[in-house]
Structure 1
Amino acid sequence: MEDIVTAQSGSILRVQLNRPAKRNAMTSAMYVALADILNEAAKDENTRVVLWHGAGDSFCAGNDIDDFLKNPPGPGVSPQARLMEALVNFDKPLVAAVQGAAIGGGTTMLLHCDFIYAGESTKFQLPFINLAVVPEFGSSCLIPVRIGHIRAAELLLLGGPFDASRAAELGLVNQVMPDKDVMARARETAEKLAAKPAAALQAGKRLVKQPFREQIRAAMKAENEEFSVQVRSDDAKEAFNAFLEKRKPDFTRPANAQRT
């Protein structure tokens, strides 16, 4: 698939989101393809570590809005849900190199990585509330667990952007550095991990994740069910129309009210 490029280097599988003109925004097909890549990597004895990054000057700007509006996720096994399950089940180390836009899913997908190196240009955002929808990819569980309720509410209920230094302060990334150094630093960590005993490394990750894995699955199920309701609401229609029309949404009256 042209929108996701993979390359094997020794026991490291490099996975690149490859839509730089769209800031690597995710389509339904990309969610499915990425899930398949991770599931195959999980079974491949030649792959010990996955190194994940975006093409161009961004990691991922979240959903491709045009594609998303044509294929909004439902409560069942959506393309997004397939990737969520693949990430939760992935026992091999997942290392991310991030810069530029990391918005919506571009942030929440990273919560499933084991190492995250962010360039100084990185702009994170969890704008779900601004689109009249709810958090996804288990973020309603993972973020409060990591940073506490008060800080999670700041990120999820206000939905404003925050920079790489704030992400590091909150403990959401391992390290911040100049953009030009991010990929090399992530690759260095991937190489160190690849040299470790593979069975023990995977067992260690399973043990670290075990106390939270079922909580995350339960959170994802609840999020997906709520998301499928909220995304079809009048407020969401107004939010997405406003986004496409490049105007501020008005949640004080019905979305289809006449505007002057």
Structure 2
Amino acid sequence: MSNFLSYTQENHVVTLTMLDAERRNPLTGNSVVDEFLSAITRIQNDTSVRAVIITGADPAFSTGGDIKTMQKQADPEVNVATIREDYRTGIQRLPLALFNLDVPVIAAVNGPAIGAGLDLACMCDIRIASEKAKFAESFVKLGIIPGDGGAWLLPRVIGLARASEMTFTAEIIDAQRALEYGLVSRVVAHDQLMSAARELAERIAVHPPYAMRMTKKLIREGIHGRLDSVLELSAVFQAVAHKTDEHREAVSAFLEKRPPNFNK
């Protein structure tokens, strides 16, 4: 990886850390999208990876778009078609890639997650917050809209009414309010955030990896699919699952009252 994103793997868990702490880990005006996509492709193709943690170098998770990039886009010489294409070939590739990644992803939100930073957290399957975390869907404050998919993501995480309130007011909420909203599943002391995320990732990683990837795929399909379509896909996935070595190992381990071994 290059300078913005670090990729580390310990056993079956990969941690992706945004490293531009001085600029609060911006998601535009740099190589972030290409680096994330490279990491996501690597994870998708590596069957040894069973869980992913995304976090930021302190003091922020990510404060979203780079203001200087926005200033350039407002230049009268930059036309609308160019900006539209920049979004389509830039930041908008990230939610699609994370949505289609079969491996479960945990956002360890260590500080402010603002604008696109909040949306990045919502692209993950699970969010854990440090007590120092803050959240805002703040695009309207800058006279822009959630161009990275936030209008689709946030309502599916916290519901339409609360997502509308956060988006229309652009107000910052703290970690405890985020917990009340269901935006995060827990709040922990700042110095315990990564150990809590790691513990959760390891609880995920002990399970059969192929079944886990198919399970996440089904959950994602269920967000927008009809019940009959998801049931049909479930039947296909289940037929495949019954024929895997990991299913045979799981059943044998259960009957023999021993821990399963999915590293064969």
Q: TM-score category by the smaller chain?
A: 0.7 to 0.9
Asked if residue 33 in structure 1 is aligned to residue 35 in structure 2, the reply is: yes
2:3 alignment partner, SS class: coil
Amino acid at match of 2:204: L
Structure 2: 5+ residue stretches without partners: 74-81, 227-264
Q: Does 1:81 align with 2:92?
A: yes
Q: Percent identity?
A: 31
Map 1:188-203 to 2 at 5 A.
188-203=199-214
Equivalent position amino acid for 1:66 in 2: K
Q: What CA deviation, in whole Å up to 9, does each residue of 1:110-157 have, x standing for no partner?
A: 112122110111111111111111124332123223333321221011
RMSD of aligned alpha carbons: 1.9
Contact 2:116 2:150 in 1 (8 A): no
3-state SS of paired residue (2:35): helix
- 1:254 paired residue number: none
Cα distance in 2, alignment partners of residues 137 and 213 from structure 1: 18
Deviation at 1:73, TM superposition (A): 4.4
SS of equivalent to 2:207: coil
The residue that corresponds to 1:218 in the other structure is none
Larger RCO (CA under 8 A, 6+ residues apart): 1
CA distance in 1, matches of 2:56, 2:43: 18
Alignment of 1:85-164 (within 5 A): 85-164=96-175
Q: Which amino acid aligns with 2:162?
A: R
Partner of 1:231: none
SS in structure 2 of the partner of residue 15 of structure 1: strand
1:20 touches 1:57 (CA, 8 Å); kept in 2?
yes
Tell me which residue corresponds to 2:45: 43
Distance in 2 (CA, whole Å) between partners of 1:136 and 1:90 is 21
**Partner amino acid, structure 2, of 1:138:** G
Aligned residue for 2:198? Answer: 187
Q: Which letter does structure 2 place at the counterpart of 1:80?
A: I
Distance 1:166 1:136, change over 3 A: farther
Query: What is the alpha-carbon distance in structure 1 between the residues aligned to residue 35 and residue 90 of structure 2?
Result: 9
Q: Hey, what's the Cα distance between the residues in 1 that align with 2:117 and 2:45?
A: 25
Q: Is the 8 A contact 1:19 1:55 kept in 2?
A: yes
Partner of 2:3: 2
Equivalents in 2 of 1:126, 1:113: separation in Å? 16
1:159-174 matches, cutoff 5 A:
159-174=170-185
Deviations 1:7-40 (A, max 9, x none): 1111211100001111112234112211221122
- In structure 1, distance between residues paired with 2:107 and 2:52: 8
1:172-210 Cα shifts (integer Å, max 9, x gaps): 101011111111000001111111100111111111110
Partners of 1:118 and 1:173 within 8 A in 2: yes
Equivalent-residue separation in structure 1 for 2:40 and 2:224 (angstroms): 17
Alpha carbons of 1:147 and 1:56: their partners in 2 closer, same or farther (altered >3 Å)? closer
Mapped partners of 1:137, 1:81: distance in 2: 5
Aligned residues between the structures: 215
Give the 3-state SS of the residue equivalent to 1:80 in structure 2: coil
Mapped to 2, the partners of 1:197 and 1:68 lie a distance apart of 44
Query: Larger radius of gyration, structure 1 or 2?
Result: 2
